[in-house]
Amino acid sequence: MSQNGQPKLAVANASKFYDTGTGKVHALDDFSMEVQEGELACLLGPSGCGKSTLLWAMAGLHGLSAGEIRLDGRPVTRPNPQIAMVFQEANLLPWRNLIKNIELPFEIRGQRPDQARIDALLAEVGLAGFESKMPRELSGGMQQRASIVRALSVDPSLLLMDEPFGALDAFTRDEMNLLIQQIWMETKKTVVFITHNIAEAVFLADRVFVMSARPGRLARIFEIDLPRPRGLEVLMAPHFIELVGEIKGSIDHKPQVQAA
Amino acid sequence: MASVDRELRDKIPTFEKAGTQAAEVGNWSSAASTLSILKGGRDATLIAITAIIVFGGAELLLRLLEVPTYIAPTPSQVVWALIADFPHIGPHIGYTLIELVTGFAIGASIGFVLAAVITQFPLVEKIVAPYILLLVTTPMLALVPLLILKFGFGFTPRIIAVALASGPMVMINAATGFRRTDLAKIALARSFGASTLQIFLKIRIPMAMPMVIVGLMIGSIFGLLTAVGAEMVGGSFGLGNRLTYYSSLIQMPQFFACILVLAIIGISIYVFFFWVGKKWASWES
């Protein structure tokens, strides 16, 4: 909780329909959640459950059919300088080198790049010295590190991450999760992290918000009380495995009943 | 007012890279393989030796068979004619280049702007597309007699013909480039607060660049063809006019010297745009 007791991010009764050629798609149904200042919240759900729809709405990239999203008490209806987003598969611009990619937000805002901050972030994620490399010359993990630096370079107070490590191999994914935890513990930014990987959600999150299949509804909230910093050995801890099992059960339950 | 972008509203977030491959008229890897042959010393010597065999062989064959000059001049006669008659041919090179550059600049600018604007409005694009296709597929050379009737034998009809030939080529390729919409990249720029103009300048134009350059290359080659053709139809200057002039006098070495110049211009255009493509569009290959 922040000092005045107001959540950092509040989603209230959010619903979203898409008009497609074949009719209306109900992507999000009466979804509500609150994220506290400095919290690392994971949104977990099957593919196509409206996770990205919700995150894009949080970023002010598109509107809702009903309900509203508030950041620090103020409605989010358009992109906000306090919010930065990390996209799937890094989403670097292939015609710009690494440093030009990182400077893009400053360029758009007509500001001088915060060189000291960028250098410190690059060093932290291990990309110092790669500034002039083109994206295609970097591995998937390095590209995603660069995109994290790009998002953090503008010092947002809310970081939205849309399945950022979905395309990475398991080893790189573990590494990236450790990095996210480290950055988050240092900066204490509020993070909303989307994933469909249960172990990833449990490893990272303070709380896991489980979504149902489309239309996306909030199914359950799990508090993750594993102590921090969490190392990779936690993946083997009985309590971790117990939590993963419990969450898995809460997701798998419905389809099994339907199948029977 | 909520500045939610038109592209993003009511679209399901997707990360499919729609049409990132240039399956169209040209692509850089094929152009690259043609030119990268020139790299490496061993390959260069092989190419030089082949060239010597081809041109030397032609020279030898034409001399041994005693082929009359008015049927086929030897390569050395052609080169010699170009050097000796350069004071006569030189100005005509200039005239043709003026027509080509002016006509192409006009046609390409209009084609580029039209492509950029029209692709933003799918309905307008559908309405305009058949006419553009008509312009691309109809040889603009056919209009030259009419243009000469209207504008006389000066530069004007030729420049118009070049613009009409190159513009649609630039446009149709540039439009393919502008039609690529990578929603995630637009969303990225938008999430940092980019305006529609900024999205256009920083995302859409760079993304369209590879196809724009292909269009410029094809458009300029079409422009050259049309300029020479128009010069052959009427008027008293330009390389095309020299071709009809020298052939009517059966001065074959000079005739082939003009063709040699045209080949050099054509290859220079290709090399120039290849270099431009390497500089501005190499990220794609």
Q: Chain B: residue nearest A24 by CA?
A: B10
pLDDT, residue B35, reads: 57
Cβ-contact A28, A15 below 8 angstroms: yes
A-chain residues within 8 Å CB-CB of B185? Answer: 91, 93
Longest distance between any two alpha carbons in chain B, whole Å: 84
Sort strands A190-195 and A158-162 into parallel, antiparallel or unpaired: parallel
Q: Has residue A127 got a pLDDT over 70?
A: yes
Taking phi over 0 as left and psi of -120 to 50 as alpha, with beta for the rest, B197 belongs to: alpha
Structure tokens at B147: 């243009």
Q: Has residue B71 got a pLDDT over 60?
A: yes
- Nearest partner of A206 among A82, A38, A26, judged by Cα: A38
pLDDT, residue B6, reads: 52
pLDDT, residue B12, reads: 53
Q: How confident is the model at residue A24 (pLDDT cuts 50, 70, 90)?
A: confident
Q: How confident is the model at residue B1 (pLDDT cuts 50, 70, 90)?
A: very low
Shortest distance, CA B14 to any CA of chain A (angstroms): 9
- Average pLDDT, whole number, for chain B? 85
Alpha helix (H) ranges present in chain B?
28-36, 41-64, 75-84, 86-118, 122-137, 144-151, 155-179, 183-191, 196-199, 205-233, 239-248, 252-280
Sorted by sequence, the CB contacts under 8 Å of residue B186 that are 6+ apart come out as B5, B7, B8, B199, B203, B204
Structure tokens at A4: 């005045």
Q: Has residue B38 got a pLDDT over 90?
A: no
- Average pLDDT, whole number, for chain A? 89
Q: What's the half-sphere exposure (Cβ side, CA atoms, 13 Å) at B38? A: 5
> Cβ A91–B185 below 8 Å, yes or no?
yes
CA distance A12 to A75: 11
Q: How confident is the model at residue A105 (pLDDT cuts 50, 70, 90)?
A: very high
Phi, psi of A167 (to 5 degrees): -95, 5
Sort strands A9-20 and A207-211 into parallel, antiparallel or unpaired: unpaired
Q: Has residue A253 got a pLDDT over 60?
A: no
Q: How confident is the model at residue A117 (pLDDT cuts 50, 70, 90)?
A: very high
Cβ-contact B93, B155 below 8 angstroms: no
CA distance A85 to B190: 10
> Cβ A20–B12 below 8 Å, yes or no?
yes
> Cβ B192–A63 below 8 Å, yes or no?
no
CA distance A232 to A220: 26
Q: What's the half-sphere exposure (Cβ side, CA atoms, 13 Å) at B234? A: 19
Structure tokens at B272: 């120039």
Q: What is the mean pLDDT of residues A235-243?
A: 92
Domains of chain A in sequence order: 1-82+193-260 (3.40.50.300)
Q: How confident is the model at residue A252 (pLDDT cuts 50, 70, 90)?
A: low
Shortest distance, CA A47 to any CA of chain B (angstroms): 12
**pLDDT per residue over B204-243, tens digit each?**
999 999 999 999 999 999 999 999 999 999 888 989 989 9
A-chain residues within 8 Å CB-CB of B192? Answer: 79, 84, 104-105, 108-109, 154
> Cβ A154–B192 below 8 Å, yes or no?
yes
pLDDT, residue A256, reads: 41
Q: Has residue A40 got a pLDDT over 80?
A: yes
CA distance B88 to B86: 5
Amino acid at A57: A
A-chain residues within 8 Å CB-CB of B190? Answer: 61, 79
CA distance A166 to A170: 9
Q: How confident is the model at residue B45 (pLDDT cuts 50, 70, 90)?
A: confident
Q: What is the mean pLDDT of residues B64-83?
A: 88
Q: Has residue B199 got a pLDDT over 90?
A: yes
Q: How confident is the model at residue B24 (pLDDT cuts 50, 70, 90)?
A: very low
Q: Has residue A4 got a pLDDT over 80?
A: no
Tell me the count of A-B CB pairs closer than 8 A: 92
CA distance A94 to B282: 10
Q: Which of A62, A108, A135 sits opposite B8 (nearest CB)?
A: A62
**% of chain B surpassing 70 pLDDT:** 86
Cβ-contact A132, A98 below 8 angstroms: yes
DSSP label at residue B202: I
Q: What is the mean pLDDT of residues A6-26?
A: 87
Number of other residues whose CB lies within 10 A of the CB of residue A241? 14
- Nearest partner of A204 among A248, A243, A156, judged by Cα: A243
CA distance A256 to A250: 11
Q: Chain A: residue nearest B195 by CA?
A: A108
> Cβ A62–B10 below 8 Å, yes or no?
yes
CA distance B44 to B60: 24
3 state SS for chain A: CCCCCCCCEEEEEEEEEEEECCEEEEEEEEEEEEECCCCEEEEECCCCCCHHHHHHHHCCCCCCCEEEEEECCEECCCCCCCEEEECCCCCCCCCCCHHHHHCHHHHHHCCCCCHHHHHHHHHHHCCCCCCCCCHHHCCHHHHHHHHHHHHHHCCCCEEEEECCCCCCCHHHHHHHHHHHHHHHHHHCCEEEEEECCHHHHHHHCCEEEEECCCCECEEEEEECCCCCCCCHHHHHCHHHHHHHHHHHHHHHHHHHHHHC
Shortest distance, CA A91 to any CA of chain B (angstroms): 6
CA distance A205 to A184: 11
pLDDT, residue A259, reads: 39
Q: Has residue B31 got a pLDDT over 90?
A: no
CA distance B229 to A191: 66
Sorted by sequence, the CB contacts under 8 Å of residue A228 that are 6+ apart come out as A181, A185
Number of other residues whose CB lies within 10 A of the CB of residue A60? 24
CA distance A172 to A232: 12
**pLDDT per residue over B268-278, tens digit each?**
999 999 999 98
Q: Has residue B25 got a pLDDT over 50?
A: no
Q: How confident is the model at residue B28 (pLDDT cuts 50, 70, 90)?
A: low
pLDDT, residue A91, reads: 92
pLDDT, residue B33, reads: 54
**pLDDT per residue over A144-195, tens digit each?**
999 999 999 999 999 999 999 988 898 899 999 999 999 999 998 999 999 9
CA distance B185 to B15: 9
Task: Report the residue of A104, A108, A153 to disrupt the B interface, i.e. the one with the largest count of B CBs within 10 Å.
Answer: A108
> Cβ B193–A108 below 8 Å, yes or no?
yes
Shortest distance, CA B129 to any CA of chain A (angstroms): 23
**pLDDT per residue over B128-159, tens digit each?**
889 888 888 888 888 899 999 999 888 999 99
A-chain residues within 8 Å CB-CB of B22? Answer: none
Q: Has residue B16 got a pLDDT over 50?
A: no
pLDDT, residue A82, reads: 92
